């Protein structure tokens, strides 16, 4: 199953040939004839790098952020973790995570 992360929508069941990644990974999935299939695995939903890669993919960009940007985002995330306990994100989800059956 894949479930949208950056937008609302129902979970989708993957076909046998469309499975890549692990449960909890952020992935880009495309729908076509038959079942949706995963075309990119960005990494764990806990990784800021994976989240940024997923956002780039969701925006239709075909490139990653530079190392300097990724390092700055890591530093920012560490500061936010230290000072932003209880913060709630308000962005609607659009990227997918891989969920176990029955989730």
Task: Kindly report, residue by residue over 36-64, the tens digit of the pLDDT.
Answer: 888 889 999 889 889 888 888 888 776 66
Q: How high does pLDDT run on average in the chain?
A: 78
State the pLDDT confidence band at 82, using cuts at 50, 70 and 90.
low
What mean pLDDT do residues 91-97 have? 62
State the pLDDT confidence band at 88, using cuts at 50, 70 and 90.
low
Assess whether pLDDT exceeds 80 at residue 102: no
Percent of the chain with pLDDT over 90: 8
Rounded Cα distance, 25 and 32, in Å: 21
Tokens for 7, please give them.
């937008």
Assess whether pLDDT exceeds 80 at residue 9: yes
Angle 90-26-24 (CA atoms, 0-180°, nearest 5)? 100
Do 92 and 4 meet the contact criterion of CB atoms below 8 Å apart?
no
> Residue 3 in 3-state DSSP?
strand
């Amino acid at each position: 199953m894949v479930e949208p992360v950056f937008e609302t929508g129902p979970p989708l069941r993957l076909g046998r040939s469309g499975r890549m990644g692990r449960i909890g990974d952020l992935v880009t999935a495309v729908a076509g004839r038959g079942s949706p299939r995963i075309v990119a695995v960005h990494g764990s939903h806990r990784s800021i790098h994976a989240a940024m890669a997923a956002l780039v993919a969701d925006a239709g960009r075909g490139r990653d952020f530079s190392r300097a940007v990724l390092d700055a985002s890591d530093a920012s995330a560490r500061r936010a973790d230290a000072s932003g306990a209880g913060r709630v994100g308000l962005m609607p989800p659009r990227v997918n995570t891989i969920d176990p059956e029955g989730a």
